[in-house]
Amino acid sequence: MSSQKLEVITSPHVAEMSPLPENTLIGMCNPLLDIQTTVEKSFLDKWGLKENDAILCDDKHNDMFTELTKDFTVEYIPGGAAQNSLRVAQWILNSPNRTVFFGAVGKDQYGELLATKAKEAGVNVQYQINETVKTGTCAALINGTHRSLCAHLAAANTFTQDHLQKEENQKIIEQAKYFYVTGFFITVCPPAIIQLATHSAEFNKTFTLNLSAPFISQFFFDKLSEIIPLVDVLFGNEDEAAAFAKAHGWETTCVKEIALKAAALPKKSTKPRLVVFTQGPEPVVVVEGDKVTEYPVTRLPKEEIVDTNGAGDAFVGGFLSQFIQGKGIEASVACGSYAAQEIIKKHGCTVPSVCKYH
């Protein structure tokens, strides 16, 4: 029989107040409940999954979710890439409601759990509620220090642009100065992304995008290419950078070269594009304009590495927590690396009760 836990570790708020106004940063992505467990490599092979990869599930994976909840000890953890990043940013900022999240969930227990945990973490959750489709889930399968993600979007896939047109959400958008959207959301509602990105450019705000997974560049490149000219800050890892380069026809796998080429792509505003590519334990590559900088990463001892799931999301959360305060790139990268290391020491994208970064 399986043993299933619905409780989640979240961070208590610290009384210290941030100088940032409320609703400074808006995140938009797919809110998913991670169904996390440890599996053998043979399980990944059985379901056609790869280590350290993220995919959208198809019909053949339906029975996999049934098998997981029936035969494995699973843990339910609030997930979804941008929502993870915002929870981490809030943990570091120590002041609730500096960030806002848009995404779609079902009217069910999982949706309520996601909302509760995100609010506990300090995120101002503004979900679009779908009364007929269930909340999305993601199988987060841990094998050693590797993780494989297989997402069943469900309600998350039903987000519509009219949610942003609501009067209360229009006010939030007007308040915000920074926007963070993941590549995953390109599969759901590109018009909503374009709306936020266009607003950001028009009012000289900052729009940031994550490449998210190789399959976004491989299969949704046309939509991605429509958004890139509006992107002020582009995030990704080395595998996502390689897929982005291949989709462009750039014959290089050098992360620094790809970052330079990505920064030089056409842009609608005169603000130089910032490109930030992580490489696991290797240096973070940052390009601002035509300047390349590498920021070394402190390697964790192998025995401290518990789970790499959520490390990329945590890096972005840490980075943005400083960036939206006007801190420099070096400080933002340092905080991103700190957050990623804290997440790697725990299962899932969960944070310690105390943030020691301050």
> Hey, which residues are catalytic here?
313
Q: In what order do the strands lie in the sheet with 4-5?
A: 4-5, 74-79, 32-38, 137-143, 146-152, 53-56
Residue ranges of alpha helices (H) inside the chain are 41-46, 62-71, 81-93, 109-120, 162-165, 167-175, 190-202, 214-219, 221-227, 238-248, 255-263, 311-323, 329-344
Residue with tokens 């696991």: 280
163: its two tokens: 């949610």
d(CA 127, CA 114): 10
Closest CA to 181 of 13, 56, 357, 30: 30
* CB distance 273 to 263 below 8 Å: yes
d(CA 222, CA 247): 10
Q: Report the Cα 327 to chain-centroid distance in Å.
A: 21
